[in-house]
Amino acid sequence: MTARRNRLDPATLAAQALGTVDAETGAVVPPMHSSTTFARGADYRLVGDHLYSRDSGPTVRRAEEIVAALDGGADARLFASGMAAFAALLEALPEGAHVLAPKSMYYAAQDWLIRQAWRGRIELDLFDQTRPEALSAALRPGRTALVWIETPANPTWDVVDIALAAEAAHSAGARLAVDSTCAPPPTTRPLELGADIVFHSATKYLNGHSDLTAGALIPARDDELWAQIHKIRTATGGVLGGFEAWLLIRGMRTLHVRFARQSETALALARHLERHPRVVEVLYPGLARHPGHAIARRQMTGGFGGMLSILLDGDVESARRVAASTRVFVPATSLGGVESLIEHRRSVESPQSPVPDTLIRISVGLEAPGDLIDDLDQALAAA
């Protein structure tokens, strides 16, 4: 299977869930194993590769093999949510490790970083990830253990040059981890650009159907840190369940076609909104005027994604009204699913959040583009 895997395009591997037909039954869909425990044979050796499901199981393992292949990693581990994966990575760092993370990033992950720093578990510095010189200035050669970046980053969709960040991190002896949730493998493969670890909230594009939470870590190398991460998952029980892994496999089979369509519709929407009189600014890396567009063209080779934000004229109340006035877009948090979502982002972050009052975040789904455009037009007119 490995030889076959190496020659095929990731889109093919995803569509066929790595292309294995069940040897026993001929089923073209991988089976779902829910067993928590795995038997031993007459010699008291385990019959298969698994012992107990808190450590690993066949369906989770299959999903992990697919995720590893999609990102071109040495391995992959799946967790019960993105945050469980993120927490395991932090837990694997040595006591007091120096960590760098963006000033503007996924809110809950930054909140957890700040808590860990407050407890003294890590030493944290936040930097402006849109300025490469800010990363260089924040790095402490020989001291910094981990640089965390997110690209494109919530909710402004700033784009970070992964290759440049990897070079800077490595020159200081640090690892680079990339939150690539909003740039999944059909468009960006951070390990090929020099990153050491890729993170996905698989809740979002990888699964794509808003029906499970999952997190993925994918390493460039199977090293000591990686072994530690697996140990932490086994010890703390953050592993993904068998049924969720099975659903995730099903979701990933359509990842490439979903992402391409979502990117196409998002670009059409961004271009439409750019000309709308009530819209002050459209934040989307696919627009030529977006500050990250040049990097995005190099780094997001399969589309600019389905996430965009708009800044409205007016105040916080009128922005909230727009987000509540849609009929096709569902007013809800999260992203990357088949249904389009709209959110007044400030309302779901903390009072200290740097997100502008009038920012509305949009996750584009698979509906007819015309319906989405009409819906936003009527919501903007109504509010």
Ligand X SMILES: *Cc1c(COP(=O)(O)O)cnc(C)c1O
Residue 143 tokens read as 């001291």
Examine residue 77 and tell whether it contacts ligand X (CB under 6 A).
no
Active site residue 106: yes
Examine residue 56 and tell whether it contacts ligand X (CB under 6 A).
no
Which of these, 106, 177, 168, lies nearest to 135 by C-alpha position?
168
Residue from 179, 244, 343, 357 in contact with ligand X (CB under 6 A): 179
Examine residue 154 and tell whether it contacts ligand X (CB under 6 A).
yes
Beta carbon nearer to ligand X, 100 or 380: 100
The interface mask with ligand X, positions 213-232, x = CB under 6 A, is x-x-----------------
Q: How far is the CB of 57 from ligand X (least distance, A)?
A: 20
Q: Which residues does 140 contact at the CB level (< 8 Å), separation at least 6?
A: 98, 172
Beta carbon nearer to ligand X, 181 or 358: 181
Give the residue closest to ligand X by C-beta: 82
Q: How far is the CB of 54 from ligand X (least distance, A)?
A: 19
Could you say which residues in the range 81-110 bind ligand X, by CB under 6 A? Answer: 81-83, 106, 109
Beta carbon nearer to ligand X, 108 or 134: 108
d(CA 153, CA 110): 12
Residue 344: helix, strand or coil by DSSP?
A: strand
Q: Is the peptide bond before 102 cis (omega within 30 degrees of 0)?
A: no
Let me know the angle formed at the C-alpha of 365 by 363 and 79, rounded to the nearest 5 degrees.
70
Residue 18 tokens read as 């790595």
Q: Which stretch binds ligand X (CB under 6 A): 31-39, 201-209, 270-278, 337-345?
A: 201-209
Residue 333 tokens read as 């948090």
Determine the number of helices (DSSP H) and then strands (DSSP E) in the chain: 13, 12
d(CA 8, CA 291): 35
Examine residue 204 and tell whether it contacts ligand X (CB under 6 A).
yes
Residue from 56, 59, 181, 309 in contact with ligand X (CB under 6 A): 181
Q: How many CB atoms lie within 10 A of CB 339?
A: 15
Tell me whether strands 122-127 and 97-102 are parallel, antiparallel or unpaired. parallel
Beta carbon nearer to ligand X, 129 or 154: 154
Examine residue 59 and tell whether it contacts ligand X (CB under 6 A).
no
User: Which residues of the shown chain bind ligand X in the complex (CB under 6 A)?
Assistant: 81-83, 106, 109, 150, 154, 179, 181-182, 201, 203-204, 213, 215, 335
Active site residues: 54, 106, 179, 204
